[in-house]
Amino acid sequence: MSDTPLLDELEKGPWPSFVKEIKMAAKNSAMSQDLLDLLEKSYRDKIGYWKHGGIVGVMGYGGGVIGRYVAIPEQYPNVRHFHTIRVNQPAGWYYSTDALRAICDMWDEHGSGLTNMHGSTGDLVLLGTTTEELEPIFDELIKLEFDIGGSGSDVRTPSCCLGKSRCEWACFDTMEVCHKITMQYQDELHRPAFPYKWKFKFSGCPNDCVAAIARADISFIGTWRDDIQQDDAAVAEYAKTLNILRDVVERCPSRCMEWNGDKLTIDNDNCVHCMHCINAMPKALAPGKDRGCSILMGAKAPIIEGAMLSSMMIPFVKIDEEEDYEAVCEIVEEIWDIWSDEGKNRERIGEFIERVGKSNFLEAIGLEPIPEMVAHPRDNPYIFFEQEED
C-alpha cells in the first residue's frame, strides 16, 4: 500500500469515509489501488486527471454507461478505463439481500468492486470497469433481472419515494406510477433522442423525499383537495409536550392556523400544503382523504446554467386512475415533440420554457393557463394585449 497522506486526512473524524472504502477495496483490486494513488496525486497537484465521454456502451443502448479514461494511463494503467455503469434501481429502492449480494459478487468479478448507493438521480452506480467488461456485465445484470439506467440526452432513470408501501402520507401510488412510466418509456430511456436529459421523479406527498421539485424536469408530488384530517384528542396530547403556538402555528407559512390553548383551528382554504404541521404532529394531523398529485415542471441542478425550481403545470390530477394517467402521458409526449423540434442542444425543459415564454409553451402543448401556474408576480409593468378575433 502506498502513502496517501492527503487522503488520510479524509479518514479522520467520526464520519464514514470514501477513502476508507477505497482502501478496503484496494486490498483485492489493482484498479482500486491505482484509483487511490491517482486521487492522491490529484489532491497533491490540484488537477483532475479524468477524461469523460466518448464512444462506450452496450450494444443497442445509448445510455447507462459513462465513459471515463485517465489522462495519464502510462502511470496508472489499471484505471486506463474507469467506466461508470448506472443500474436502474427498483422502485422505492427495495432490494433483497440476495439481489445485492449477487450484484456485488458480479461487480467484484467484472469491475473495481466500488459502488455508489445511490447516484443523485437514483440509480445504483457501479464505479470503474473496462470497455471489454461492459457486455459481460450487461449479460450478468440481465440474468439478475436488472437493467441499465439512463445517461446522456435521454429519459433518466425515473425515481420515486417508497410511497404507499410504507408511508401513510402518500397521496398516490408512487411506486406503481414510477414502474409504469419506466416500462412505458424504455425506448426513450435507452435511446437518447432529446436535446438534453429528462428526469421523472415521483414524491408521494409535499415532503418531497426524492427532491423532485429541485431536480426533475417533470415532478409528480402528492397532494390533497379536501381538509387536513385532524384528531382533536391527539392534538390535546401533543399540547402536553409541544408548544403548539410557537412550534406549529407561528411557523405556518400561510398563517392559516389558530390555537387558543385548547382547540386547533385550520383555515384549509388558505393552507398551502407545506406539511409542517403534519410533520410536527403526525399522530394528530394527516393529509386529507381526496388525494392525488400536482404536476410541476422545469427544475434542474446547476450544470450549464444556474439551478431552477419546478413551477406548477397541473395543480391536481388522480394519476392512479388509468384515464388520467394516459392523459398525462399524452401531455408528456406532446412536450417531448415540441422540445425535440425546437430545443437547443443541452437545453433543459425549464430553460426552454423560459426562452420561449410560458404562454407560448402552454399554447403549444394545449394547456389552458390558470392562476396556479404563476410562479411569481410579474416584474415588467408593460402588458401587451392581443385583440381577440370574433
Partner 1 sequence: MASDLTLEEVVESMYKEVASVQGRKKLKPMDLQKMIYERFSDRADKRTCKKLGKEAIKELINSGRCVYSYYGGSFIELPPAEGVDK
- 56 contacts partner 1 (rule: CB under 8 A): yes
| 145 touches 264 (CB < 8 A) | no
- 57 contacts partner 1 (rule: CB under 8 A): yes
| Residue 152 CB, nearest approach to partner 1 (Å) | 4
Polymer length in residues for the chain: 390
Residue from 29, 78, 88, 153 that binds partner 1 (CB under 8 A)? 153
Nearest Cα residue to 350 out of 364, 341, 361, 334? 361
Angle at 363 between CA 303 and CA 158, to 5 degrees: 40
DSSP class of 113: S
DSSP class of 89: P
Interatomic CA distance for residues 220 and 253, integer angstroms:
22
Residue type, 62: G
- 82 contacts partner 1 (rule: CB under 8 A): no
Interatomic CA distance for residues 241 and 98, integer angstroms:
44
Instruction: Point out which span in 62-70, 178-186, 216-224, 313-321 binds partner 1 (CB under 8 A).
Output: 62-70
Residue from 27, 44, 289, 346 that binds partner 1 (CB under 8 A)? 346
| 171 touches 133 (CB < 8 A) | no
- 154 contacts partner 1 (rule: CB under 8 A): yes
- 152 contacts partner 1 (rule: CB under 8 A): yes
β-bridge partners, 160: 202
| Residue 53 CB, nearest approach to partner 1 (Å) | 5
Residue from 23, 33, 81, 123 that binds partner 1 (CB under 8 A)? 81
Residue from 54, 282, 357, 369 that binds partner 1 (CB under 8 A)? 54
- Counting residues that bind partner 1 (by CB under 8 A) gives 31
| C-beta atoms surrounding 71 within 10 Å | 12
β-bridge partners, 68: 52
Query: Is the Cβ of residue 254 or residue 340 nearer to partner 1 in the bound state?
Result: 340
Residues 234-273 close enough to bind partner 1 by CB under 8 A: none
End-to-end Cα separation, the chain, in angstroms:
82
Residue from 146, 196, 238, 361 that binds partner 1 (CB under 8 A)? 196
- 156 contacts partner 1 (rule: CB under 8 A): no
Query: Is the Cβ of residue 84 or residue 203 nearer to partner 1 in the bound state?
Result: 84
Query: Is the Cβ of residue 195 or residue 287 nearer to partner 1 in the bound state?
Result: 195
Query: Is the Cβ of residue 51 or residue 101 nearer to partner 1 in the bound state?
Result: 51
Torsion of CA 26, 29, 34, 35, to 10 degrees: -70
- 66 contacts partner 1 (rule: CB under 8 A): yes
Instruction: Point out which span in 4-12, 137-145, 193-201, 314-322 binds partner 1 (CB under 8 A).
Output: 193-201
If you write DSSP's letter for every residue of 186-246 in order, what string do you get? HHHHHS--SSS-B-EEEESSTT-TT-HHHH-SEEEEEEESSPPEE-HHHHHHHHTTS-HHH
β-bridge partners, 245: none
Residues 89-148 close enough to bind partner 1 by CB under 8 A: 131
- 6 contacts partner 1 (rule: CB under 8 A): no
Alpha-carbon distance values, 221 to 47, 314, 329 (Å): 41, 11, 16
| 8 touches 16 (CB < 8 A) | no
Interatomic CA distance for residues 233 and 263, integer angstroms:
10
| 238 touches 244 (CB < 8 A) | yes
| Residue 284 CB, nearest approach to partner 1 (Å) | 50
Instruction: Point out which span in 50-58, 288-296, 325-333, 365-373 binds partner 1 (CB under 8 A).
Output: 50-58
Instruction: Point out which span in 32-40, 240-248, 286-294, 341-349 binds partner 1 (CB under 8 A).
Output: 341-349
Residue from 1, 47, 59, 383 that binds partner 1 (CB under 8 A)? 59
| Residue 13 CB, nearest approach to partner 1 (Å) | 36
Interatomic CA distance for residues 49 and 72, integer angstroms:
7
- 69 contacts partner 1 (rule: CB under 8 A): yes
Query: Is the Cβ of residue 137 or residue 252 nearer to partner 1 in the bound state?
Result: 137
Instruction: Point out which span in 25-33, 188-196, 213-221, 265-273 binds partner 1 (CB under 8 A).
Output: 188-196
Write out the residues near partner 1 by the rule CB under 8 A. 53-57, 59-63, 66-67, 69, 80-81, 131, 151-154, 187, 191-196, 340-341, 345-346
